[in-house]
Amino acid sequence: MAAALTLARRMARSGVLPLCRQLLAWGRAPRQPPGLPLAQCRAFSNNKIMVELDESSGVATMKFKSPPVNSLSLDFLTEFCISLEKLENNRACRGVIITSAVPKIFSSGLDITEMCGKSTEHYAEFWRAVQEMWLRLYGSNMVTVAAVNGSSPAGGCLIALSCDYRIMVENPKFSIGLNEAQLGIVAPFWFKDTFVNVVGHRVAERSLQLGSLHSAPEAHRLGLVDELVPDEKLQEKTGAVMAQWLALPDHARQLTKSMMRKAVLDRLVAHREEDIQNFISFISKESIQKSLRLYMEMLKKKKG
Amino acid sequence: MAAALTLARRMARSGVLPLCRQLLAWGRAPRQPPGLPLAQCRAFSNNKIMVELDESSGVATMKFKSPPVNSLSLDFLTEFCISLEKLENNRACRGVIITSAVPKIFSSGLDITEMCGKSTEHYAEFWRAVQEMWLRLYGSNMVTVAAVNGSSPAGGCLIALSCDYRIMVENPKFSIGLNEAQLGIVAPFWFKDTFVNVVGHRVAERSLQLGSLHSAPEAHRLGLVDELVPDEKLQEKTGAVMAQWLALPDHARQLTKSMMRKAVLDRLVAHREEDIQNFISFISKESIQKSLRLYMEMLKKKKG
Amino acid sequence: MAAALTLARRMARSGVLPLCRQLLAWGRAPRQPPGLPLAQCRAFSNNKIMVELDESSGVATMKFKSPPVNSLSLDFLTEFCISLEKLENNRACRGVIITSAVPKIFSSGLDITEMCGKSTEHYAEFWRAVQEMWLRLYGSNMVTVAAVNGSSPAGGCLIALSCDYRIMVENPKFSIGLNEAQLGIVAPFWFKDTFVNVVGHRVAERSLQLGSLHSAPEAHRLGLVDELVPDEKLQEKTGAVMAQWLALPDHARQLTKSMMRKAVLDRLVAHREEDIQNFISFISKESIQKSLRLYMEMLKKKKG
């Protein structure tokens, strides 16, 4: 409830309310022929996430287009939550494909600038948005398929892990993993829980401790992604997988999904405020701030 | 306790008390030469489950013979529980092989006619019997080996999953899985817990959401069954596996088994009445009744 | 706290206090050139565990040398705990390699003579030391790598399982596993928890019930060990793995490790006294004492 209010306030402040109205309009959109992008969807292309719903199939696509690396800023996360909620409440939508419009990158994870040199209040707001994103995605009633068409470290990997199914482009240069430890930070317990639910305790323990980024083939071998496909087959394969999942009666599938994920979702809900406080006190440490600053400078030099 | 009483009443009502007396007689049976079917066992062949105990090896065989598909009716479940309890209490019996006498079918799972158009009281009695079957089998002190010589959906799969070891005939036409979601219903949490304990969280989540029936080779690859053998080798292999497990001292093996399974067993025991109420309220829904009726009509047409 | 006191008392009684002083001296040792064994380390070679610290790399080696089979006696366990604590408190030490100086044996596990024909008080003291060993090793802040260069049944396997990474010599004659059930005893719940965290529930259930000792190749296939190497490559490979793990920032790696292992560690801490009482009452049974005596006689005959 508090979270929803914060989110609503955030929506007002961050100027995404117009988007909200667009989304509302879109919910009432007339049927469109399949395959054609919906007119009202094009309106989204000014934002960080392009959302298209094919009402004939009931499948929406959320395409990250926040160059250079689709980092999960507060704005991005807020838009993500609103878009997802809108789709969730739209009876015409039964499944979502999550993918990227930025070449070679699915998402680079949490935006480090949101965690560096900001106020305690800002850290709290940011972290609540990260939690909200995961609670909505991991707990979504819709079928969620990640079409991982680029590298996907940290929070980017979390998004993929939170879907029902993961298809990755078989390019060995693309990597995926919860590499927080490499940056001197620690993946929160619910990142870990989500990871363990996908790859099991041992693979998770080793990969998290080493902050491993796994190449696509290795990620497939470990079960971190379900399938590898050549780039040109990604869309076709994603559609086929989605159709397979949508062949199931929604109600039974949703109750089954909830049964599998409830324990882990409930754990964050029960410890949400505590988790925010932990994040704030960890991220506020001078040593952590320093290593994040160094990391950002390194990134800048790389770009320069 | 309540469950035991219900079961006893059920036994009286359903006419299995004569069987009970047979079983008691059998418990006191004199040693027989190995390999020869025991005279008193032949008496069972009029019932839904044929039970034979080879006292020389301490191994019993429970062979489902309830054509056409060994469906788990209330009568079948009651007989199953009584037979298993009898073996459990027979010091001459240390292991049980569970298999089918019906060609191509291990067990088709819960009998849908028990869940369709019946009274609330009937649903409660039926569900308690399903629970009882699982509690006794999953918690059995005996070594339990499933010799899966046919297809084994839903409740049939649960029986296999509840054993200590699963050997399946390598016929790719035989399939196994918890396919409840395909029928628009949801596998209960203790089906899920049993499944997760065998194949892990990820495989279970995907398979349960899709209501997958896995071919024998796929089931083997996923770890759902431990071993595949040609039909003609099934008996020999099952015997060899049983001998391997019986080579261990009973006491240590039983305590170890209990340690591995206690948490999951306790969970149903703690929520048993709640689980019955959930089942009743779910199965009583008109939408569920309707989809079960449709399913049964489809089955009838198939047969016709 | 109580445990620490017991340990301290034990140290005094068992004459390991001189070792303690050596350890204290060693903590203040001046830097040594890398690769050269430290002078103060050689002093350890009279004890059951040879400890060497290469301060340049921050890597210590604990080499079991308690012939004939590195069995985990009370003395051995006490020395193990003290050595490990000393390294843990030494800021120059970041990682520990655990291996054996006895050919063909890593460790044969708990010393059966400590569990046979002794007083209740002795059983309590012994069991507390076994717990202490595991709590310290499984919960160590250091990177721990097991270089398993010989067979490793029961408690020996537990030591390997408690490390962060396991490399085993690929000799198929070397075996590893929690084979307690073969001896008629039961692995305690925290052995089981540790095992499940490495190989998953199903592999653990089957392996524990059968008391399996797995050959090196099989152990690798099951995930019980992470890697196999030829004997002559063991040292090189172990060093390379250790370097890989030490490349991570300690703080983030330690917090991550703790997050993965805390639930299982806490469970023993919460039930420690109960677990001791369980051990005492189990091991004091005449039937168990008898089977342990038989086992020891068998071992003696083998040697003779």
**Peptide linkage before B188 cis (omega within 30 of 0):** no
B261 contacts in chain C (CB < 8 Å): 205
Which whole number is the average pLDDT over B156-175?
Answer: 98
The Cα C151–Cα C155 span in angstroms is 11
Residues in A whose CB is inside 8 Å of some CB of B read 164-165, 196-200, 223, 226, 244-245, 248-249, 251-253, 255-257, 259-261
The Cα B236–Cα B242 span in angstroms is 10
Greatest extent of chain C over all pairs of C-alpha atoms, in Å: 56
Task: State the pLDDT confidence band at B39, using cuts at 50, 70 and 90.
Answer: very low
* Percent share of chain A, pLDDT over 70: 84
C252 contacts in chain A (CB < 8 Å): 180-181, 183-186, 211
Distance in Å, alpha carbon of C147 to nearest chain A alpha carbon: 17
Q: Which residues have C-beta within 8 Å of that of residue A286, sequence separation ≥ 6?
A: none
pLDDT tens digits, residue range A158-191?
A: 999 999 999 999 999 999 999 999 989 999 999 9
Predicted model pTM: 0.87
CB contact under 8 A, C244 and A189: no
Contact criterion met (CB below 8 Å) for C206 and B166? no
DSSP E strand stretches across A179-241: 214-215, 227-229
CB contact under 8 A, B260 and C200: no
Residues in C whose CB is inside 8 Å of some CB of B read 180-187, 189, 192, 200-202, 204-206, 208-211, 287, 291
Contact criterion met (CB below 8 Å) for C214 and C222? yes
Distance of CA C170 to the CA centre of its chain: 20
pLDDT of residue A298: 86
Number of neighbouring beta carbons within 10 Å of residue A90: 20
Q: Which residues have C-beta within 8 Å of that of residue B72, sequence separation ≥ 6?
A: B80, B107, B109, B110, B111, B130, B133, B155, B156
Token look-up 């099951």 returns: C222
Number of neighbouring beta carbons within 10 Å of residue C63: 19
pLDDT of residue C295: 83
> Helices then strands (H, E): number in chain A?
13, 10
| Residue among B155, B156, B177, B211 flagged as catalytic | B155
Structure tokens at B300: 């009838």
The Cα C182–Cα C186 span in angstroms is 9
pLDDT tens digits, residue range C21-53?
A: 322 323 333 333 333 344 333 334 459 999 999
Q: Are strands B214-215 and B175-177 parallel, antiparallel or unpaired?
A: antiparallel
ipTM exceeds 0.90, yes or no: no
Instruction: Using alpha carbons, select from A197, A177, A302, A200 the residue that is nearest to residue A259.
Output: A197
Judge whether B35 counts as a catalytic residue.
no
pLDDT tens digits, residue range A217-266?
A: 999 999 999 999 999 999 999 999 999 999 999 999 999 999 999 999 99
Instruction: Using alpha carbons, select from A204, A220, A211 the residue that is nearest to residue A171.
Output: A220
Task: State the pLDDT confidence band at C291, using cuts at 50, 70 and 90.
Answer: confident
pLDDT tens digits, residue range B229-238?
A: 999 999 999 9
B257 contacts in chain C (CB < 8 Å): 205, 209
Instruction: Using alpha carbons, select from A102, A80, A216 the residue that is nearest to residue A157.
Output: A216
pLDDT of residue A46: 55
pLDDT tens digits, residue range C226-259?
A: 999 999 999 999 999 999 999 999 999 999 999 9
Which whole number is the average pLDDT over B92-118?
Answer: 97
Pseudo-torsion of CA C234, C238, C239, C245, nearest 10°?
Answer: 170
pLDDT tens digits, residue range C54-86?
A: 999 999 999 999 999 999 999 999 999 999 999
Which whole number is the average pLDDT over B123-144?
Answer: 98
Which has more pLDDT, C8 or A242? A242
Which whole number is the average pLDDT over B101-109?
Answer: 98
The Cα A182–Cα C242 span in angstroms is 16
Judge whether A179 counts as a catalytic residue.
yes
Nearest to C253 among A181, A200, A291 (CB): A181
Judge whether B74 counts as a catalytic residue.
no
CB contact under 8 A, B257 and C180: no
pLDDT tens digits, residue range B74-95?
A: 999 999 999 999 999 999 999 9
- Whether the per-residue pLDDT at B179 is higher than 90: the answer is yes
Number of neighbouring beta carbons within 10 Å of residue A294: 12
Contact criterion met (CB below 8 Å) for A206 and C165? yes
Instruction: Using alpha carbons, select from A207, A204, A185, A186 the residue that is nearest to residue A194.
Output: A204
Q: How many CB pairs under 8 A join A and C?
A: 57
Mutate to test the interface with A, among B190, B198, B205 (most CBs of A within 10 A): B205
Nearest to A248 among B187, B200, B211 (CB): B211
pLDDT tens digits, residue range B250-301?
A: 999 999 999 999 999 999 999 999 999 999 999 999 999 998 898 888 888 8
Q: Looking at domain A34-303, does it have CATH number 3.90.1150.200?
A: no
CB contact under 8 A, B186 and A252: yes
Which has more pLDDT, A105 or A38? A105
Query: What's the Cα-to-Cα distance from C172 to each of C64, C101, C154, C165, C229, rounded to whole Å?
Result: 21, 19, 18, 20, 11
The Cα B185–Cα C243 span in angstroms is 52
Which whole number is the average pLDDT over C79-94?
Answer: 97
pLDDT tens digits, residue range A5-32?
A: 344 344 334 333 333 332 232 333 333 3
pLDDT of residue B295: 83
- The mean pLDDT of chain A is 87
Domain boundaries, chain C: 34-303
